[in-house]
Amino acid sequence: MPGDKPLRIAMLSAHSCPVGKLGTKDTGGMSVYVLELARELGKLGHRVDVYTRVHDPNDRIIYELGQNARLIHLRAGEDEEIHKLAVYPHLPDFALRLEDFRSRNRRHYDLIYSHYWLSAWVGRRLQKWWRVPHMVMFHTLGAVKNAVGVGAREPELRIKTERSVVSSCQRVIAATEKEKEDLIRHYGASAERVSVIPCGVNLNMFKPVEKRSARKQLGLNGDKTIIFVGRIEPLKGIDRLMIAMSHLRNGYRLRLLIIGGGENSRHEIERLRKLAGELQIGNSIDFMGLIKQSDLPLFYSAADVCVVPSYYESFGLVALESLACGTPVVATRVGGAESIIRHGETGYLVADNDPRSLADNIMLALSRSDNAAHLATMARASLAPFSWPNIAGTVARECSDLLTNGTTD
């Protein structure tokens, strides 16, 4: 890090543990972001402590995440997984324990980087105590989720907290220009305090596996294979993908692999199974459950196309991961899709998740799968700007800029 002063960063991820089980109800892209970014900033020479809530009595207090990067578990509330809203009443305790840990260990931080509105609440309190800049990334926004109107309604408490943090923090990191617009429109953010920095992908983990070999290892037959990866919840639009599948059934022999979902996604999975039965496509769909992230490259590589049929994404790491493995993506124009996918080259962008449009675009992607090797090379090459070292470098510059030019008022 020649010429730059190492930063000391307190990163907050109160409700979701960065080493938690990915693909379960509350653990997804944000946890990946926090973990990868902390590690990468650490490699750049910065010192990062990530604070999260103990969610398992067997959790160690301190985990080394990598060079200069640690994860610290704080007791606040029950030592078990609790619904994220149930974390809210424990936030004052979380803040006190964090301060206690910090002062006992004589740590000092230059900057707080909070993730999601719950941590942002804590960050706002710490900012007052420590008088250092507070940077926030919300990952999703309550008001925007409510405007979409799919799934459970977000409580007013969340929206009020987000609004208050937007006006009190020094900088908000938005993953896309659209998120920046949403922050301005729904929360009255001032444009100069919002910076757009996309999320990244681990190009060492997500690499292509030769398609034939990947399919063999997974025991897939000659059917065209569509893959969905993510948390299983209504906003992801999996039901729309299933209806699209039922439209496509006459054109191809198809298989849909649905990856993700833990115990607390049971109801949604039951709903989707029922729908598959009604659409008479139950035999073509496999609910694979959670797959370890390090095993996902095999699945992405084996698939002919990855579909992201979401109503809303703040960014959408799955599209990046699939392209990194050389598999085209069909995605609704939400989150980072437009900046990730080159329409007609590395995948297809769909205006919304209308099943007919999804089906047409999946068909287009499948019809090009003979050209898979060329496409794979092109897809991977298009992702260089999204490598984590690149993203971490940009975040670090943003932090330095904030320390030089920002105010803590």
Which of 279/288 has CB closer to ligand UDP? 288
CA angle, residues 154, 55, 311, in degrees to nearest 5: 30
Q: Which of 30, 28, 66, 68 is nearest to 46 (CA)?
A: 68
**296 contributes a contact to ligand UDP by CB under 6 A:** yes
Contact 141, 312 (CB under 8 A): no
Which of 204/407 has CB closer to ligand UDP? 204
Contacts to ligand UDP from residues 320-359, by CB under 6 A: 321
b/e code 278-308 from CB counts within 10 Å (16+ = b): ebebeebbebbebbebeebbbbbbbbbbbbb
Q: Which of 133, 14, 20, 18 is nearest to 76 (CA)?
A: 14
Nearest residue by C-beta to ligand UDP? 28
- Give least dist CB 49 to ligand UDP, A: 23
Q: At what angle are helices 29-43 and 388-405 packed, to 10 degrees? A: 80
Contact letters for ligand UDP, residues 226-245 (x by CB under 6 A): ---xxx--------------
Chain centroid to Cα 223, Å, comes to 30
* d(C-alpha 174, C-alpha 391), whole Å: 13
DSSP state of 90: G
221 three-state secondary structure? coil
Interface with ligand UDP: number of residues (CB under 6 A): 20
**194 contributes a contact to ligand UDP by CB under 6 A:** no
Contacts to ligand UDP from residues 374-393, by CB under 6 A: none
User: Looking at the DSSP assignment, which residues form a beta bridge with residue 335?
Assistant: none
Write out the two tokens for 319.
């599209």
* d(C-alpha 115, C-alpha 245), whole Å: 36
The span of 47-55, 168-176, 316-324, 376-384 binding ligand UDP (CB under 6 A) equals 316-324
Backbone angles phi, psi at 290, to 5 degrees: -75, 140
Which of 111/285 has CB closer to ligand UDP? 285
Task: Indicate which single residue of 18, 20, 23, 355 sits in contact with ligand UDP (rule: CB under 6 A).
Answer: 23
* d(C-alpha 12, C-alpha 73), whole Å: 11
- Give least dist CB 259 to ligand UDP, A: 5
Task: Indicate which single residue of 96, 143, 184, 291 sits in contact with ligand UDP (rule: CB under 6 A).
Answer: 291
**318 contributes a contact to ligand UDP by CB under 6 A:** yes
The span of 46-54, 91-99, 286-294, 386-394 binding ligand UDP (CB under 6 A) equals 286-294
**109 contributes a contact to ligand UDP by CB under 6 A:** no
**259 contributes a contact to ligand UDP by CB under 6 A:** yes
Which of 96/150 has CB closer to ligand UDP? 150
**315 contributes a contact to ligand UDP by CB under 6 A:** yes
* d(C-alpha 194, C-alpha 385), whole Å: 20
**218 contributes a contact to ligand UDP by CB under 6 A:** no
Which of 40/110 has CB closer to ligand UDP? 40
- Residues in contact with ligand UDP by the rule CB under 6 A: 22-23, 28-30, 32, 229-231, 259-260, 290-291, 293, 296, 315-318, 321
